[in-house]
Amino acid sequence: MSESEDKKTEAVEAEAIKGKEDKKEVPAKFAKLVSELDKMSVLDLSEFVTTLEDHFGVSAAAPVAMAGAAAPAEAAEAVEEKTSFNIFLASTGEKKIDVIKAVREITGLGLAESKAVADGAPTMVKEGATKDEADDAKAKLEAAGATIELQ
């Protein structure tokens, strides 16, 4: 072992000894294992960790690194995988009659029910629509002068 490795090992062991003063209580079921680990040097502990990683097929450092990198990817996947949309009518705009006709066409409701939906804005027009249905409905309602939000 080189002189610099000896110094690093001594520094790590000094930190470990310092940390012993701030020990938390060890559950009884782990007491024997912890006492055995206390007897090991830092190099032995490092080798032990590597052995455990190989045995269980995991890496002690990976969860921290992967969690930061995976979060944006998971968010992007969630947006891409969305298959169900809610069509929300924020306002009817100037052409209320055209909006009523569009609501009727999209939902299959009768004239009175479609008028009630348009009069009740802001309100949900349709829930659980596919992406194509939602895009088509949004185009129809916006062409009629309504303000739409896809959720």
Q: What is the pLDDT along the chain (151 residues), one digit of tens a residue?
A: 566 566 666 665 656 555 555 567 888 888 888 888 888 888 888 888 888 888 888 776 644 444 555 555 555 555 556 778 888 888 888 888 888 888 888 888 888 888 888 888 788 888 888 888 888 888 888 888 888 888 8
What pLDDT is attached to residue 11? 60
Residue corresponding to tokens 């909006």: 99
What pLDDT is attached to residue 95? 85
Residue corresponding to tokens 């930061």: 68
What pLDDT is attached to residue 93? 82
Buried b / exposed e across 138-150, counting CB within 10 Å, b at 16+? Answer: bebbeebbbebee
Strands (E), 17-146: 85-91, 123-129
Integer angstrom CA distances of residue 27 from 24, 30, 33? 10, 6, 11
What pLDDT is attached to residue 57? 80
Cα 68 to Cα 97: distance, rounded to the nearest angstrom: 50
- DSSP-derived pairing of the beta strands 123-129 and 147-150: unpaired
What pLDDT is attached to residue 49? 82
**Which of 128, 125, 119 is CA-nearest to residue 140?**
125
Helix (H, G, I), strand (E, B) or coil at 16: helix
